[in-house]
Amino acid sequence: MGCVDGDQAQRLLKRRRAEKMDQAETAHQDLPRRAKVREYLIQPLERAGLVRPPKMTAAEHEAMLDKLQDRLGYLPPELLSTLAEVLLRLAEGPLLNRWPAFATIWNNAMRLMPPPDDEAHIMTSWLASIEGPVARSGGYLVELHEFLRRHGRPPGNYEMGKIREAAADNGRRRQRIEEWIAKGHAKGEDRQWLDWYLRRLAHCEALVRAGEDKRAAKGAAA
């Protein structure tokens, strides 16, 4: 039976260490989303000494932490750790040991990495609300979705006018490209744009239908 020489032993040891590190990293990435936010954001900040602001009740503070766990689960562990470092520098109060407001935390998280479209609360909630069917019938679902994605808030009256103008322009562009495709004259970039637009439209319509189904279920249960 052969023996393992010193070099082989060192290589085996390094490989086993690397395998353990990979397993640990995978385990961290596979943590449930809320647990991930607790482990990499909330607990490190609590260990660092952050406390709730005195004007906030214990119940309100727990509600904010709960909201953070719901909303920040899309961030990977390394960015949650980075966010913890940022928030520690933004601690408030005379001793600089109070938790920042939720808006401060959320805005800094958005700067690190915006949430995916399907997790951005404003887009899903607004299109799933009664505003969704209105936008669908008005033909500006995609354009409204893009506004919500860029700005993270509902549009005002002036902005709604711009959204409708963009929808009209996109409608004409869509019609032209479909005509070019039928004649065999469409360019690659035209096909790509139309493919993107139709996929985004299908996504938006699914959000609207989900909202309608939810309201219908509530009405049936009432």
pLDDT tens per residue, range 74-109: 899 999 999 999 999 999 999 999 999 999 999 899
pLDDT band at 122 (very low <50, low <70, confident <90, very high): confident
What Cα–Cα distance (Å) separates residue 39 from each residue in 27, 73, 114, 134, 198?
13, 11, 20, 42, 40
- Give the DSSP H or E segment for 93: none
Judged by phi (left if over 0) then psi (alpha if -120 to 50, else beta), residue 93 lies in: left
d(CA 80, CA 148): 24
Q: Residue 67: what are its φ and ψ, rounded to 5°? A: -65, -40
Q: Six-digit token pair at 60?
A: 């309100």
191 pLDDT above the threshold of 80:
yes
> Please, what is the Cα angle at 130 between 135 and 69, to 5 degrees?
105
Residues 155-178 have pLDDT tens digits of 999 999 999 999 999 999 999 999
Grouping H, G, I as helix, E, B as strand and the rest as coil, residue 92 is: strand
Instruction: Say if residue 193 is exposed, middle or buried (CB neighbours under 10 Å; 0-12, 13-18, 19+).
Output: middle
pLDDT band at 11 (very low <50, low <70, confident <90, very high): low
Residues 20-70 have pLDDT tens digits of 444 444 444 446 888 999 999 999 999 999 999 999 999 999 999 999 998
Cβ count within 10 A of residue 135 = 22
CB burial of 143-171 (b: ≥16 within 10 Å; e: otherwise) equals: bbbbbbeeebeebeeeebeebbebbeebe
Nearest by Cα to 121 from 97, 77, 152, 79: 152
Q: Residue 98: what are its φ and ψ, rounded to 5°? A: -105, 145
